[in-house]
Amino acid sequence: MQTPLESFIEYKAETGMQCGNYSIDVPPLKEGQQYRFHFDAVKCVGCRCCEVACNEQNNNPADIKWRRVGEMEGGEFPAFTQLLNSMSCNHCIDPECLKGCPTNSYIKFDNGIVFHDDDVCIGCQYCTWNCPYQVPVFNEERGIVTKCHMCHERLEEGQSPACVQACPAGAIEIEVVDVAEWLEKDIDKEANMPFLPDARITNSTTRYTLPENLPKNMKEMDEHILKPAHKEMPLVFMTVLTQISLGGFFALFAGDFLSLFGFEKTNWVMALLVMLPSAVGLPLSALHLGRPGLAITAMKNLKTSWLSREAAALGAFTGLMTLVVALYFFDVSKGLRLLVEAVTFGVGIYGIYAQSMIYRLKARPSWNRITTNLKFFGVAYVGVFLVAFLANVFGETQAVVPLLSVGMLGALSQLFFTYEDLRTLDTLEKDRYQLQRSKKLLEEYFGGIKIARLASLVVGGLFLPLLALLFLGNGDVVTFILLLGVVVSATSELMDRFLFYTTVVPLGMAGGFFVGKQRG
């Protein structure tokens, strides 16, 4: 029985319709050269045969598209222009997917093809965030990310990729490009297409042929489609909880070593409860993975991946905090404990910094701002409030006032960082289109959560601590107020992190009028 692609090719042959190239008609690669795609937007008729052929060739379900056709339009009737873009992987010279992958699942072959090794992928989906073209796509059924590999097995046999072969208009071709010449002379002129991110971000190699005199008022056909991004709930809890642990450990360490807060004696229970958020949060991150059983391999690419660095540093931070608990419990000499605490605190700071850098991605403008780093560290005030609560429970009441003072300063800082985060959505010119769409999501889809986040930050971070100071000396009342403050503040930060993930609008190609960009 013939497949739909085989039937279509037979029909084209019978009717005389032009078929794509069956054999690859390019010279052998020389040193400094690689393969690339060429897309001729003048020839493309929008039949989407390339999408169908790609899925058939690679046995992908309908919702997993390695090659997509985007739609744009512009002009005034009757001088109306429709522009199409058939795009798969651009097999970039400096692929962000490869640099960011924590498991080294990406390999750039000598012929330039960026290949994804499915066997070692853990399904963290970090590459789907890193790629400004939204090329890698998560296959939920397989629990891994997959992408175009230019039908490398067909190239080895001298055949053209399925998309090239299936195109009835000959709009897609395989070419050889001289990398140095491309970077020096041609990339800025021939690698960019309307509504595509700047080719220089990853040094994309795809060459475009565009119609002449495109209208200035071109627009994406899917600009009316705006959907929240994935909630990423395991990461919401993991990031906030580890950041709370850092703040709590800072208060514990400062109280033990520098006597900043007037502690007479910190204890192992305090250390245990400060460590607990991180110990709970880190395993939760595995629930985000498509293949959680391979989570340990996320530390393979310490050289270039911030995710690998975060996993290693926060794993070490949690382990060292556990050691600190043991040193308290067994009453080991204070000098040794302080040394371990100093190392632990340094590792924790680096771990949260690495965590924040995961999101400083050119492909995701609302994340790629200094407020991301500041707000990730800003959550530490909740940990300080946690230690204030514990100090009151264990009778260290002389430490409560300075701890609450530092915690409120932290909450005020976090309020300012949040204000700046919202303000700059309106003021930054670079990637303004994506930032404005993030703002629209924030106001129209999640306006209630945004207000609740701000209100709970003020209540939990400022009002309740002040109330606790008014009732200082009334043990049970203060304990309840402090506990409530920790809960409200932590909830506020969880809401903010939820908004962080759901309102991000990535860079990418134009989508279809009815289906949008077909990415989660």
Per residue, what are the HEC states of 292-328?
Answer: HHHHHHHHCCCCCCHHHHHHHHHHHHHHHHHHHHHHH
Instruction: Give pLDDT, residue 16.
Output: 44
Q: Report the Cα–Cα distance between both ends of the chain, in Å, rounded.
A: 35
Structure confidence at residue 157 as a pLDDT band (50, 70, 90): confident
- The residue behind tokens 């046999």 is 157
Instruction: Give pLDDT, residue 242.
Output: 98
Instruction: Give pLDDT, residue 22.
Output: 59
Separation of alpha carbons 63 and 516, rounded Å: 12
Express each pLDDT in 11-44 by its tens digit.
444 544 444 555 667 778 999 999 999 999 999 9
Separation of alpha carbons 84 and 73, rounded Å: 9
Range name among 24-33, 234-243, 369-378, 430-439 with the lowest pLDDT average:
24-33
pLDDT at 87 exceeding the cut of 70: yes
Q: Are 400 and 391 in contact (CB under 8 A)?
A: yes
Q: What are phi and psi of 284, to 5 degrees?
A: -60, -30
pLDDT at 414 exceeding the cut of 70: yes
Instruction: Give pLDDT, residue 14.
Output: 52
Mean pLDDT of the region 173-195: 95
Instruction: Give pLDDT, residue 215.
Output: 92
Cα within 13 Å of Cα(120), Cβ side = 15
Query: Which residues are paired to 159 by β-bridges?
Result: 23
Range name among 17-26, 111-120, 201-210, 333-342 with the lowest pLDDT average:
17-26
Separation of alpha carbons 98 and 130, rounded Å: 9
pLDDT at 395 exceeding the cut of 80: yes
- Please state the domain extents for the chain: 4-220, 233-502
Q: Are 407 and 261 in contact (CB under 8 A)?
A: no
Mean pLDDT of the region 480-503: 98
Separation of alpha carbons 425 and 440, rounded Å: 10
Structure confidence at residue 473 as a pLDDT band (50, 70, 90): confident
Could you tell me which CATH number the domain at 233-502 has? 1.20.1630
Separation of alpha carbons 366 and 377, rounded Å: 17
Express each pLDDT in 227-272 by its tens digit.
999 999 999 999 999 999 999 999 999 998 877 788 888 899 999 9
Q: Which of 355, 372, 364 is nearest to 229 (CA)?
A: 364
Mean pLDDT of the chain: 93
Separation of alpha carbons 72 and 79, rounded Å: 15
Is 1.10.10.10 the CATH number for 4-220? no
Tokens found for residue 465? 């601590």
Computed on alpha carbons and rounded to an integer, the radius of gyration of the chain in Å comes to: 27
Q: Are 89 and 147 in contact (CB under 8 A)?
A: yes
